[in-house]
């Protein structure tokens, strides 16, 4: 491989990796946050987003663990909510330590992470709290869910360890995976565009009596899964929202 070819390859990998953000939801341990920053640096990632941190992510303990990933730690974006962290993303994978879930299919890193490299869309990998992980509501913000298989006698991984497993897989993929563009370019809807649609859909279904307030959350969870599997484009979401507006107008004026 020539020097110029190697440089082009490195640039492509750098661009692809910069489209993947690692999101930590309410981390409580500064040592963990610093370790995550170091791991991201090791594996060629740089976008760290921290949701409502429960510790000083810029303090001495975090800096001590970051080592040469200090630039990743310093540039970490801090936001208040998970939807804020996901703004602009078209794809998101949530991680969970649960081996079974009543409604959410769980996949291994090898099964699900290649999905992030099928195109060059903005994407996110979400990690939960050290003690309790992600809530069901937070899991619902992602299209797919990942779990790391481990010894059933002690399957619980430390937050930084879980991040390390996943971003190592991402690094391996970025070194060997050539992003495939669809035959006809489609701009996938961002997660905040989808969330706006879901809120509008829920309001209409409550209005017409299809949903009831006490069961709306569980029923909407199924709708979210259904639509997210379809990987809707921004144009398609806009069309669906237009239909909802027209139906709502007809209900109000019928």
CB contact at 8 A, 216 and 202: yes
Report yes or no: 107 and 147 within 8 Å, Cβ to Cβ: yes
Domain holding 170: CATH number? Answer: 3.40.1280.10
Same-domain status, 120 and 223: no
Average pLDDT in the 155-173 region? 91
Rama region for 105: left / alpha / beta (φ>0; ψ in -120 to 50; rest): beta
pLDDT of residue 155: 78
The answer to the question of residue 165 being in a domain is: yes
The answer to whether position 182 is within a domain reads no
Out of 141, 176, 211, pick the residue that ends a domain: 176
Average pLDDT over residues 122-130: 95
Could you tell me if 67 and 172 lie in one domain?
Answer: yes
Q: Residue 77's Cα: distance from chain center in Å? A: 15
- Residues of the chain with pLDDT > 90, as a percent, come to 55
Residue 164 domain boundaries: 3-176
pLDDT of 177 above 60? no
Report the 10 Å Cβ neighbour count for 119: 19
Considering the domain architecture, whether residues 33 and 158 belong to the same structural domain is answered as: yes
Does 186 fall in a domain? no
Q: Determine contact, residues 65/34, Cβ cutoff 8 Å.
A: yes
Give the pLDDT confidence of 12-37 residue by residue, as tens digits: 444 446 789 999 999 999 999 999 99
Provide the number of structural domains found in the chain.
2
**Higher-confidence position of 103 and 58:** 58
Q: What is the pLDDT, as a whole number, of residue 74? A: 95
In this structure, are 78 and 154 located in the same domain?
Answer: yes
Beta strands in the chain (DSSP E): 20-25, 48-51, 77-79, 91-95, 106-107, 123-127, 144-146
| 110 and 21 share one domain | yes
Does 90 map to a domain? Answer: yes
54 and 145, same structural domain?
yes
CB of 16 closer than 8 Å to CB of 123: no
Q: Is residue 185 part of a domain?
A: no
pLDDT at 42 over 60: yes
The answer to whether residue 7 scores a pLDDT higher than 50 is: no
Structure tokens at 126: 């979400």
CATH code assigned at 222:
1.10.8.590
Predicted confidence at residue 90, as pLDDT, reads: 92
**11 pLDDT above the threshold of 60:** no
Q: Do 171 and 236 belong together in one domain? A: no
Q: Are 67 and 116 part of one and the same domain?
A: yes
Q: Are 46 and 73 in contact (CB under 8 A)?
A: no
**So what's the pLDDT on residue 45?**
93
End residue of a domain, out of 176, 204, 232: 176
- Give yes or no for residue 213 having a pLDDT over 60: yes
Would you state the pLDDT for residue 58? 93
Statement to judge: residues 248 and 149 lie in one domain: no
Rounded average pLDDT over 181-205: 81
Write down which residue in 176, 204, 236 finishes a domain: 176
Q: Are residues 226 and 201 in the same domain?
A: yes
Question: Among 41-45, 144-148, 158-162, 227-231, which stretch is predicted with the lowest mean pLDDT?
Answer: 227-231
Asked if residue 17 is part of any domain, the answer here is yes
Are both 38 and 91 inside the same structural domain?
yes
pLDDT mean over 95-105: 72
Q: Residue 156 — very low, low, confident or very high, per pLDDT cuts 50/70/90?
A: confident
Q: CA-CA distance, 92 to 22, in Å (whole number)?
A: 10
Q: How far apart are CA 28 and CA 23, in angstroms?
A: 14
Evaluate if residue 65 carries a pLDDT over 80: yes
Instruction: Indicate whether 181 belongs to any domain.
Output: no
Do 205 and 242 share a domain, yes or no? Answer: yes
Residue 112 clears pLDDT 70, i.e. is over it: yes
* Mean pLDDT, rounded, for 202-220: 90
């Amino acid at each position: 491989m020539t020097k110029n070819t190697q440089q082009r390859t490195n640039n492509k990998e750098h661009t692809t990796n910069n489209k993947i953000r690692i999101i930590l939801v309410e981390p409580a341990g500064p040592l963990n946050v610093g370790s995550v920053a170091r791991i991201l640096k090791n594996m060629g990632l740089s976008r760290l987003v921290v949701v409502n941190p429960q510790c000083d992510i810029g303090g001495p303990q975090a800096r001590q663990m970051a080592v040469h990933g200090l630039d990743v730690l310093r540039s970490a974006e801090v936001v208040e909510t998970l939807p804020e962290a996901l703004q602009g993303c078209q794809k998101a994978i949530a991680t969970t330590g649960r081996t079974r879930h009543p409604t959410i299919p769980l996949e291994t890193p090898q099964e699900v992470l290649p999905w992030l490299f099928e195109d060059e869309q903005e994407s996110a990998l979400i990690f939960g709290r050290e003690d309790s992980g992600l809530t069901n509501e937070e899991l619902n913000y992602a299209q797919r869910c990942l779990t790391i298989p481990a010894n059933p006698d002690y399957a619980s991984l430390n937050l930084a360890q879980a991040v390390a497993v996943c971003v190592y897989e991402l690094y391996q993929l970025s070194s060997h995976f050539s992003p495939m563009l669809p035959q006809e370019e489609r701009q996938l809807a961002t997660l905040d565009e989808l969330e706006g649609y879901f809120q509008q859909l829920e309001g209409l279904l409550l209005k017409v009596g299809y949903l009831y307030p006490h069961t709306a959350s569980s029923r909407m969870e199924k709708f979210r899964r259904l639509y997210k599997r379809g990987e809707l484009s921004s144009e398609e979401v806009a069309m669906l929202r237009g239909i909802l507006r027209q139906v709502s107008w007809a209900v109000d004026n019928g």
